[in-house]
Amino acid sequence: MKTHQIHITEERIKVLTELIGKEVYILFAPNLSISTEENIMTSSYFNMNFLSRNKLGINTSKVFKFRTKPFEENDIDFYKIEFAIKKEEKQLKDNFDQYVFQNLNSIISFAPSSKIDKIQVLNYKYVFNSENPNFENTEVDYDDGILFFQENGKRFLFSCYHSLTEESEFIRDEKSIKKRIKELKVRKEIKNVG
């Protein structure tokens, strides 16, 4: 059996720890498609600003940027999550293709703000059984979403949009999150230990 495995590396997961204990309440996106039926928002990428104390103890603004990239092989789709945290937008350009940087025309507010208490990396596994004798069965195993838990009991999800359009999903609605993560498993969890 052939396997396509795309996991966020341990080194990249450590980057997420910087978000623990940070207050968030607003996202920016260059464009936005909204499914009112499913309460899902999609965009080519999302920016989430937050405040972080520097070495001098002064709050400075930082940006968490999230996007996904689709892949296709033998009519099987799978996805890769990409994210970065930087102090300024221009520093993010080192981690992302230049063309993704567009004006941030859309704002998503989910006030009141609340600190991030826990983060889960959610994994998707599936075996495609080939009916064609010229192709072997293929397992896809990739990280499909990052679920954020806030101290106020709310959750939000950044995830792969299952389409070859290079879009990413943002979901804040609890019922929509439950439906979206039903087939996903927690692969990694980061908690506030302080």
State residue 98's pLDDT score.
Answer: 45
State residue 42's pLDDT score.
Answer: 94
For 50-91, the pLDDT digits (tens) are 888 778 888 888 889 999 988 777 667 778 899 988 865 554
| Type and span of the H or E element at 91 | helix 89-92
Angstrom distance (rounded) from CA 96 to CA 122? 22
Tokens at residue 108, please? 């998503």
CA 106 to chain centre: 17
Q: How many domains does the chain have?
A: 1
C-alpha gyration radius of the chain: 17
The values of phi and psi at residue 174, to 5°, are: -60, -45
Assign 48 to helix, strand or coil. Answer: strand
Q: How large is the average pLDDT for residues 101-111?
A: 74
Assign 189 to helix, strand or coil. Answer: strand
pLDDT-derived band at 109, boundaries 50, 70, 90: confident
Tokens at residue 106, please? 């859309």
Tell me the residue type at 115.
K
Angstrom distance (rounded) from CA 63 to CA 92? 9
For 18-46, the pLDDT digits (tens) are 999 998 888 999 889 998 888 999 999 99
Which range marks the domain in which residue 47 is found?
2-191
Angstrom distance (rounded) from CA 171 to CA 153? 15
- The answer to whether 27 and 170 have CB atoms below 8 angstroms apart is yes
Q: Is the pLDDT assigned to residue 138 strictly greater than 90? A: no
State residue 100's pLDDT score.
Answer: 47
Q: Is the pLDDT assigned to residue 166 strictly greater than 60? A: yes
Please state the pTM of the whole predicted model.
Answer: 0.87
State residue 88's pLDDT score.
Answer: 54
